[in-house]
A and B are shown apart, each in its own frame.
Chain A
Amino acid sequence: MGNIIKENLNPDGIDRRGFLKCMAWAGTGALCVMQGGVLKSYAFGAMNKHDLMGADFAFAQISDSHIGFNKAANPDVTATLREAIAKLNALPQAPEFVIHTGDLSQLSKAEEFDTLDQSLKSVHTGKIFFVPGEHDVLNDNGQQYLERYGKDTKGDGWYSFDHKGVHFIGLVNVMNLKAGGLGDLGHDQLEWLERDVKHLKSSTPIVVFAHIPLWTIYPQWGWGTDDSEQALSYLKKFGSVSVLNGHIHQVMQKVEGNVTFHTAMSTAFPQPAPGQGPSPGPMKVPEDKLRSVLGITNVNFVRGKHTLAVVDSTLQDRSMEAMPAKEETNQ
């Protein structure tokens, strides 16, 4: 599970030589601790209590709930969303807020958003932040999405906020897509982003979240964002940038220089690994395997060290709940 960066020549920039691929495929649990440009990765069993001790705060990410989907890959996506919420509520450290990285609905229908909202009421957390997926902005250019989830946002729904010294940026890359292209941020949003981070100190930890990955995973399936490099160029000066995405319904991680990229599992259905299927559509797995490929992401931030520990756990994975007990026995 993963490797440690052996060479990191340029910790301030995007360094392709010193890049590390830490892939935690769906069905596994992995802990990645990021310090400066160095990422350490642990399997769950190998975790040390110091890795999470002193975490200043925790937040969580869920993604791709696709409420309204009812096909073979998962006929009851509301049930699995509720299981994901139960997992959030059972985390050892309650998330101060939750980020949903889009595809809340399957078809942008009012009743689908209603069901999602109803389910999310039971999450024990301070606030839930959203960015839209392409399924949430069908037919109306995202008007309904903006009315429901984007009241205090700019443009098509982008925004930023600060939490305990960390600057969070929610981006929208599912609007005005161009024929033959990938995800798209667009000129207005890029301009806003440049202004938004201009006056921040380079020591400010940055967390960026958006639906479609902001790194090119598999362009043949549209898994990337056309103008993401431009966006990342504005974040070069920062020592710690974490990018959280959804869309591909599986865990994938990569570190390039100061930037850690991470994609989350879906709460609804899995999709194939890049190129490993006829299309990126919903993948049917045996019924008893479904909960091993759906899940949540929990992120712990340790102030001072600028350490962000990203932990993925599946709906059937019990190791997160078991973790505090295990740490005590290690002592």
Chain B
Amino acid sequence: MKGYVLRIGAFAALLAIGAVSATVRANYFARAAENQPAAISITIDNFSFTPKEITVSKGTKVTWINHDDVPHTVVSTDKKFKSNALDTDDKFSFTFSDSGAYRYFCSVHPVMTGKVIVR
């Protein structure tokens, strides 16, 4: 009988912890959504990526848009993502699900490099 009560207590405690942790997670995501939009743009102007380096949170969708008169590409140096040639005003998007540092470049004009840091 005593053991049964204890078990109920432990179960209740677990539920409580779970509830708290769910609340913490919900708050975390609410704050993340407020401070950090889930979509980010990187522009390509005059043969450079702007911003050249950016930090985003996990799950962010990053969109590159080419404003130059010449085609560019967005290619991860680790082969994680790769766009086709982007003509003027063409876009390419990639959603970063895992944390890490992602270096990329334009495979047509490899002097153009950039970095996305995912936290």
Contact = CB atoms under 8 A, between A and B. Distances in A.
Contacts of A282: 69-70
B41 interface: no
A134 interface: yes
B109 interface: yes
Given A106-B71, A107-B71, A282-B70, A222 B84 contact: no
A318 B74 CA distance: 44
A182 B110 contact: yes
A179 B110 contact: yes
Interface in A265-280: 278-280
A76 B67 CA distance: 21
A219 interface: yes
Given A107-B85, A221-B111, A278-B46, A73 B69 contact: yes
Interface in A221-239: 221-222
B110 A178 contact: yes
Contacts, number: 60
B99 interface: no
A220 B110 CA distance: 11
A279 B110 contact: no
**Size bracket, chain A contacts:** 20 to 34
Contacts of B111: 180-182, 219-222
Interface residues of B, number: 23
B88 interface: yes
B107 interface: yes
Contacts of A139: 84-85
B105 interface: yes
Name which of B48, B88, B105 has the most chain A CB atoms within 10 A of its CB. B105
Contact of A138 (B88, B104, B108): B108
A65 interface: no
Nearest to B108: A134
Contacts of B109: 134, 222
B103 interface: yes
7 contacts: A107-B71, A107-B87, A134-B108, A134-B109, A179-B113, A222-B110, A280-B47
Given A179-B77, A222-B111, A282-B69, 15 more contacts: A69-B69, A71-B69, A72-B69, A73-B69, A135-B108, A138-B73, A138-B108, A180-B105, A181-B110, A181-B111, A221-B111, A222-B109, A279-B48, A279-B68, A281-B47
Nearest first, the 5 A-B pairs at minimum CB distance are: A179-B105, A279-B46, A138-B85, A177-B110, A279-B47
